[in-house]
A and B are shown apart, each in its own frame.
Chain A
C-alpha cells in the first residue's frame, strides 16, 4: 500500500488517529497531526511512499500540533514533539509542512549513527553516484533538482548516508527543498515536476518542495557506489568547469559537512577517507544549468571504482 492508495478520508483518519506510518528510505516514520497543510503536503509529495503497517517498528515518532492558548487566536503556531520532547521552538502554523521536513532532517542527523551522514545531495545513474556537498547558497539543491529531471535518480538532496560495511550509499529520497529564486528556476527547467505549496517568509526565505520521482521512491533499496565527489559553486557568469580537487582537502571539507563523523570516531574517519579515496574529487563552478547538465552527462566512470550497485 502506498499513500496514494489511501482515500482522503483514510489518510486523514490515520494522521489524526494512531498516526500514519511511512517507509522513508530505510526508516519507518510515524506522523500524527491534525494540521491540514501537513496532510496536503503528504498527499501531494509523499504519494508514492509505502505505508507502514501498525505493527512495524517505528524509528521516529513525529507529532505536530497547534499551540494551544490565546496565541492561537492571534498568531497561530505549530509545535513539533518527538518522543514526548519539544526540541524546536514553535513556528507559524502556515509553516507546518516545512517544519515537518526540517524535523525529519533533524531526527535523522541527530539520531542515526549506523551510517556516516554527510550534508550533501546524492544522485545516481548507471549504478554510480555523485555526492554533492555544498555550503548553503552554493546551488546544490537547484542542481540536484534539475539533474533528477534529466535522467538522474534522486537518493537525497540533503543527507548522504554511507553504509559502513561496503561503502555504498543508502537512498532516502524525499521531497527536494528549494528556496527563493531556485524555485522558479527549477519550475522552468522541469515543467513536468510536481511542486507542493509555496511557503513565504520562513526562516530560510520562500520555500517550496519538489516531489521525488516515483521511480526514485520505488528504488529506495538500491544502493549505488559513490563514484564522484563534486563540490558545486554557483558563480554568476562562470562557464561550467570541473576542476580536479585535492583529495586530502576534500576529506577535510567532507568532515566539516558530516553530522556524525566525530561520533563515529576513528571508524567515521576511516569511512570518510575510504570514500574520498575511491571517488574522483572535483570543484565545480557553474552559472548556466544547460552547461552543468552537459558536464554531468559527460562524467566518466572512475577506473578505481567497484562497478556494480547492490
Chain B
C-alpha cells in the first residue's frame, strides 16, 4: 500500500484542509482561513476541483438503492427480524445506586471494611455458638493421651470404677500448668468439674457412644450433674465423692465386710441390673446407675465381692447400729443437717461413709467401734495425696486445699458457717431455757430452728431435756408424747427412757390429785424441786396438749424415719 510508505505530514498545513473543505466539514474560522488560503494556493484549488468532480461522478455512479423486497416492512426478513427482536426479554430492572453512593461502594477501602466486618461477624457468631471452643479443646488434646495412660499407675482395684473418675485426681496432680490457668478449686471439685466439662462437650453423644470413651481410658464424665456443694462437702468430710469410691474399692475389708445401708441398697439395685445386662461391663452398669440416682454414691463392688446383702439384711444392720451403745441416732449436728439435706433431695439413704463423716468428733462410733466402716475416714486424705489407709484423727477438719477455694465456694462456705453458728446459738439458748424450766420458750426456739433450718431435728439430749422440762412443769401429756416417740423410734437407750418414764409417772402421781383443786397455777410449789412452771395450769390441762402431740406426731414419724438413715 502506498499510504504506508508515505510519510504522514506532522505539521498541519493549510492544504491539508482541502479534503474537509470538499466534504463540508470545515466551519467557522477554519473554513474562512482555508478559503483565504485557497485563493492564493493553486494546488489546493486544483485538488478541490478534482475531488469535486470525482464526487459528482461517484454520486451519479452510486445512487442510493432501496432494500430488497424481502427486507421491506412486510417482507419475510423484516418479519423475522422483528420477531427476533420481540423474543428478546428485557433485562430485569436493577435498582441503580446514585452515582455518588456507587462511587463510595466501589472504593477498595469499602470492600476491605466489608470483608473485615464479615469475618468479624463470622468469628463472633462461631464464638458464641461454641464452635471455637471445640477448636480450643482440640488444641489441648495432646494432654489427653497422658491422662489416658495414667490408669496403669492407679491401683488395681480402681479398675472397677469408671476410668475417667479414677484418672481425674492424677490429672489434677500431673498438670500443674492447667491448675494455674483455671480457678483454684479443691481437688474434689476438679474431680467433679473436670469430667463435667468433657461431658458438656460430648453431651449430645449417646450412652453407647460414650462407653468406648470410658473404656478407652479417656477422661469422660458420668452424666451426674455437677453439684459444687456436694463436692465441697465431700472434700471436707470425706463422704460422698469419687475419691471415697476409689478408696472403698481399694480392697479394704471394712468396705466389703461391713457394708453400710447405702452400699447395700445400691448393690441390691445394681445386681439385678447387672444380671439383666447379661454380664457385660460393670463399669457401664454402674455408670448407668449413677445416671439414675445422681446423689447416690456409686460404690464399686470389691475385687472379691461378697454376696450382695438383701434389703432386709440392710435394714437389720441399720437397726443393730441404732441399738449400739452411745449411738446418737437422730442427733444431728451441723454435719448431720447437711447429710439430711442430701437425703431429702434423694429418696436414697445416706451412704455409710457419709454418715461416719457427719458424726461429730468424739462420737462413740468415731473410733471405728461397732459396725461402722473405717475406710471412709481417710478418704479425703487419700483423695488428695493418694496415701492409703492413713488414719484421720479429724474427719471433719478443713482440708489444706480449702485455701484454694474460689470465691464462690468460699462464699458458700461462709454462708454455711454462719448458718451453723446461728443453729448452735439457738440450740444453746433453747437448752438453757429448758434447763430453766421455760419449756414453752424452749419449744418455740426449737420450732424456730426447725422452721428456719428445715433439716434440723432435735437430738436426743435436747429431746430428753425438753421432756424433763415438761415433766417438771406439769406438762405430762406432752412429756409422755416425747417419751412415746423415743420408745417408738428406739433411738434412745431403754434405760434412759425408762428412767424418764418413771420420773414422769412419779411427777404425775404427785401432782394430779392437786390439779382439780386449783385451776390457777400453784403459787408456791414447795414440793417441787424444779423451778416454778411458767405455763398456766389451764394450759396444762387443756386439750391443746393432745393437739400439739398430734401435730408433733406428724412431724416425728418422718423425722424418725429420716434419722434412722442419717445417723
Whether chains A and B associate is: no
Q: Chain B: residues with CB nearer than 8 A to chain A?
A: none
Q: Chain A: residues with CB nearer than 8 A to chain B?
A: none
